[in-house]
Amino acid sequence: MAHQAQSIFDSQLPVERMPLHEQVEAAVQDGTTPISRLLRLMFAVDADATANENLRVRLRARIGEPRSV
């Protein structure tokens, strides 16, 4: 069972192993980030008591952008 859990961890994308603020920065700058990923990041930022309010503001702005931008 431990092997299966380890393989799931190993299959994480490299971006998911970055600190939260770096994940948000990368997602905000990448215009192709799916809304589902942006929303997961927003939930993570909201759950993190130490998260900078600027992260929330940037994510909210990016989520609200038109897709053509």
| Angle, CA of 19, 2 and 22, to the nearest 5° | 5
**pLDDT tens digits for range 9-42:** 444 455 568 999 999 999 999 989 999 999 999 9
Task: Specify the number of domains making up the chain.
Answer: 1
Percent of the chain having pLDDT more than 70?
72
Domain that holds residue 26: 18-69
Radius of gyration of the chain (CA): 14
Q: How far apart are CA 20 and CA 51, in angstroms?
A: 8
How many CA atoms does the CB half-sphere of 15 hold within 13 Å?
Answer: 11
Q: What is the reported pTM?
A: 0.70
**Mean per-residue pLDDT over the chain, rounded:** 81
In a domain, 11, yes or no: no
Asked, for residue 13, whether it belongs to a domain, the answer is: no
